[in-house]
Amino acid sequence: MSGASVTRGAVAPPTYYKVGSIKRERRWALIGAYAALAVFVVFFLTPPFYMLVTSLKSSGEIADLSGNPWIVSSPTLENYRELLTQGNYVTHFLNSVIVTLAVVAITMVISIFAAFALSRMRFWGSTMLATGVFLTYLVPETLLFIPLFQIIGGLGLYNNLLAMILIYPTLTVPFTTWIMIGYFASIPKELDEAALIDGANHFQMLWKIFIPVALPGILAAMIFAFTVSWAQFLYPMAFLVSSEQMVLTVGIVSDLIRGDTFQWGKIMAGALMAAAPPLLVYAFLMDYYIAGLTAGATKG
Amino acid sequence: MAQVSLRKIVKEYEGGVQAVKGIDLEIADHEFVVLVGPSGCGKSTTLRMIAGLEEITSGEIAIGGQVVNDIPPRDRDIAMVFQNYALYPHMSVYENMGFGLTLRKFPKDEIRRRVENAARILDIGNLLDRKPKALSGGQRQRVAMGRAIVRDPKVFLFDEPLSNLDAKLRVQMRTEIKKVHQTVKTTTVYVTHDQVEAMTLADRVVVMNQGIIEQVGAPQELYHHPATRFVAGFIGSPAMNFIPARLENGAGALRMHLPNDIVLPVPASRTQRYAPHAGREVLFGIRPEHLTEVRATDKPNIATFQATPEVVEPMGMETLVHFWMQGAEVCARLDPAVPVEPGRPLTMAADLDQMHLIDPVSGRVL
């Protein structure tokens, strides 16, 4: 107390800190951000780059240990041509597309209706059900595939693509429902009341108000469902045995590895082409997704 | 034909909490009725029961002579304006206003005619293509009202529509709402916690407290003849002063013994009314505007007493002074020309023609 009153007004207290400059701080922040991002990009783009390089090599060049594995000496599209013209790769691709589209559609219908009911129509046990939905998401798929095997076998769907359309939603619906419950819960209650008074029934309220308003959330849920069903490996591995029923993830592995012979060039080419659809989906939907998010954030 | 009748309306929530405890109210065709009261008094619940957004535990609600207890909101032919506007964020102003008509399958040109007509009444014709997020608070409120007007319903319901606006805009929109009602003349039930809004807008004000109706009456009637202590204290700003007093009958005249040894005579016109209560403790109620400095009054029936202001609040058009009488805070509105300063005694004059005596036990105005 007394020390402070003595120095006040007499001499300026010495500065023990560096006086900052907004410009300089901003420059350092940018440098830091770029450095961190560069590390990140290198780390995550190295495997795809290696895949691309390998997919452009002939089998002979891949087997040749003398050269630099990161460089292609005589690039060829032979691996791609063979994949697309011989074998079942195209069938696998189409199978994946069919399963994924069906699963995304089924998932969205179920989870939008479920989330609407759980977040808006208060009924006996609705809170418990909402928690229950999330709990089912926590059960690991490795635990589920044994009982599911029984069910699928009982339905006569073993080694049938349809089984995937039936099973995948057990992985996607709980999480997407959870996302949608959160989104619907953030829509003000007065909006449904206004719609009710304006003359909407529950279905119109969902279709004309909830779905358009929650579109960013619905897109996020769709991206999730798409990713899960496109990349699912365990269930097709367990339930599909004949090549023409297989989806990409297991098709590549089972068709292009014969015993201990790995057709690396084709495996890499197949995996790269398999990664293209998710890439496209993210590239296009992310724009809408982010636009929706920021629109929500700046709403006055 | 759009009167609204509430008969013995009760709303009980799970757990036995009664939000509305059996109220009766008749609202006439074309009437503007304001439900006013502190938060938790049941006014919003009552409005929501009229709208059909809240189930009625017991009692009967009729709109235009038809009992609507079991009729869903969309078939009650009502329109509601919400506190947070509740505009559909993904629709333009035009679509927002036309939504109710679209759902009811009105022809396109009829929707256009009605929306444009409402937009003209509300002066929002140039905003029809905008989305709600591109509107200011006042504009959003107009759109919400427009959405109600285009429906041409039997009853307008307003749920604290001005609470989200700033003070200046609130006054402006208040005038706007009154103007709209004078134009369309639709029966209106309006809920607010702001007694100034209630007084300025209403044909009749319904003062609610703890789930019951304290008093129903025209604004002036509530101001001059409150029925209960609650209404007396709720209507008027600053609020009425309540000073504990004892009514004594001495030497053939009634007198009020106030704290600080102040004795005020009961005016002759009130003697008969108050005589049965002689000898009892009462609350002496008087509004700040009826307490002035003695030189500034020309009222016939005044009683004077000494008071020492402790807080002085100059407002420009008037000066509020606060003093205490044994724990009871008393506020008086003085002419700004009267020189006052805290701690210097003043001679105050109470206009006894405007006084009220209240039974402190029942809360009724005697």
**Residue A98: which pLDDT band, with cuts at 50, 70 and 90?**
very high
For chain A, give the percent of residues with pLDDT over 90.
25
- Alpha helix segments (H runs only) across chain A: 2-7, 22-55, 59-63, 78-85, 89-120, 126-138, 141-154, 161-185, 189-198, 202-204, 211-213, 215-231, 234-239, 248-256, 264-297
Predicted local confidence at residue A101, as pLDDT: 95
Where is average pLDDT lowest: A107-111, B36-40, B296-300?
B296-300
Across B241-245, average pLDDT: 89
Q: Which of A190, A198, A298 sits opposite B100 (nearest CB)?
A: A198
Q: Which of B78, B84, B88 sits opposite A197 (nearest CB)?
A: B78
Q: Is the confidence at residue B362, as pLDDT, over 70?
A: yes
The torsion defined by the Cα of A182, A185, A187 and A189, in degrees rounded to 10, comes to 180
Q: Is the confidence at residue A291, as pLDDT, over 80?
A: no
Task: Tell me which of A197, A201, A294 to substitute to probe the interface with B (most B C-beta atoms closer than 10 Å).
Answer: A197
Predicted local confidence at residue B1, as pLDDT: 55
d(CA A266, CA A257): 10
Separation in Å, CA of B147 to nearest CA in chain A: 9
**Cβ(A222)–Cβ(A103) under 8 Å?**
no
On the 0-12 / 13-18 / 19+ scale of CB atoms within 10 A, A32 is: exposed
d(CA B96, CA B102): 10
Across A35-62, average pLDDT: 91
- Tens of pLDDT, residues B25-81: 999 999 999 999 988 888 999 999 999 998 899 999 999 889 999 999 989 999 999
Q: Is the confidence at residue A99, as pLDDT, over 90?
A: yes
Predicted local confidence at residue A3, as pLDDT: 43
Across A64-73, B211-220, B326-335, which has the greatest mean pLDDT?
B211-220
d(CA B339, CA B347): 12
For chain A, give the percent of residues with pLDDT over 70.
89
**Residue A7: which pLDDT band, with cuts at 50, 70 and 90?**
very low
């809004």: which residue's tokens?
Answer: B197
- On chain B, the residues whose CB falls within 8 A of the CB of A212 are 90
Q: Is the confidence at residue A191, as pLDDT, over 80?
A: yes
Q: Which of A190, A199, A298 sits opposite B84 (nearest CB)?
A: A190
Mean pLDDT value across chain B = 88
**Residue A300: which pLDDT band, with cuts at 50, 70 and 90?**
very low
Q: Is the confidence at residue A8, as pLDDT, over 60?
A: no
Strand-pairing partners, residue B346, are B307
d(CA B109, CA A178): 42
d(CA A246, CA A93): 9
CB pairs under 8 A between A and B: 62
d(CA B143, CA B121): 11
**Residue A2: which pLDDT band, with cuts at 50, 70 and 90?**
very low
Where is average pLDDT lowest: A140-154, A228-242, B155-169, B246-260?
B246-260
Across A63-69, average pLDDT: 81
Is the CB of A193 less than 8 angstroms away from the CB of B88? no
Q: Measuring CA to CA, which residue among B101, B79, B97 is closest to residue B88?
A: B97
Q: Is the confidence at residue A36, as pLDDT, over 90?
A: yes
Predicted local confidence at residue A95, as pLDDT: 92
Separation in Å, CA of A300 to nearest CA in chain B: 7
Across A61-68, average pLDDT: 82
- Tens of pLDDT, residues B93-122: 999 999 999 999 999 999 999 999 899 888
Of the two residues A255 and A49, the one the predictor is more confident about is A49
Is the CB of A194 less than 8 angstroms away from the CB of B104? no
- Cis (ω within 30 of 0) for the bond into A212? no
Q: Is the confidence at residue A296, as pLDDT, over 50?
A: no
Q: Is the confidence at residue B86, as pLDDT, over 80?
A: yes
Q: Is the confidence at residue A299, as pLDDT, over 50?
A: no
Is the CB of A196 less than 8 angstroms away from the CB of B90? no
- Tens of pLDDT, residues B197-233: 999 999 999 999 988 899 999 999 999 999 999 999 8
Separation in Å, CA of B48 to nearest CA in chain A: 10
Of the two residues A196 and A4, the one the predictor is more confident about is A196
Q: Is the confidence at residue A119, as pLDDT, over 70?
A: yes
Is the CB of B90 less than 8 angstroms away from the CB of A201? no
Across A181-205, average pLDDT: 88
Separation in Å, CA of B50 to nearest CA in chain A: 11
Separation in Å, CA of B81 to nearest CA in chain A: 8
With CA atoms as reference, the chain B residue closest to A192 would be B86
Predicted local confidence at residue B206, as pLDDT: 93
Is the CB of A196 less than 8 angstroms away from the CB of B79? no
Phi, psi of B160, rounded to the nearest 5 degrees: 45, 55
d(CA A260, CA A277): 30
With CA atoms as reference, the chain B residue closest to A297 would be B133
The interface predicted TM-score of the complex, written ipTM, equals: 0.82
- Tens of pLDDT, residues B305-323: 888 889 999 988 989 999 8
Across A174-184, average pLDDT: 86
Q: Which of B82, B90, B104 sits opposite A199 (nearest CB)?
A: B104
Across A122-147, average pLDDT: 84
**Residue A4: which pLDDT band, with cuts at 50, 70 and 90?**
very low
Q: Which of A199, A212, A299 sits opposite B103 (nearest CB)?
A: A199
| Beta strands at B4-12 and B58-63: parallel, antiparallel or unpaired | antiparallel
Across A71-95, average pLDDT: 88
With CA atoms as reference, the chain B residue closest to A215 would be B90
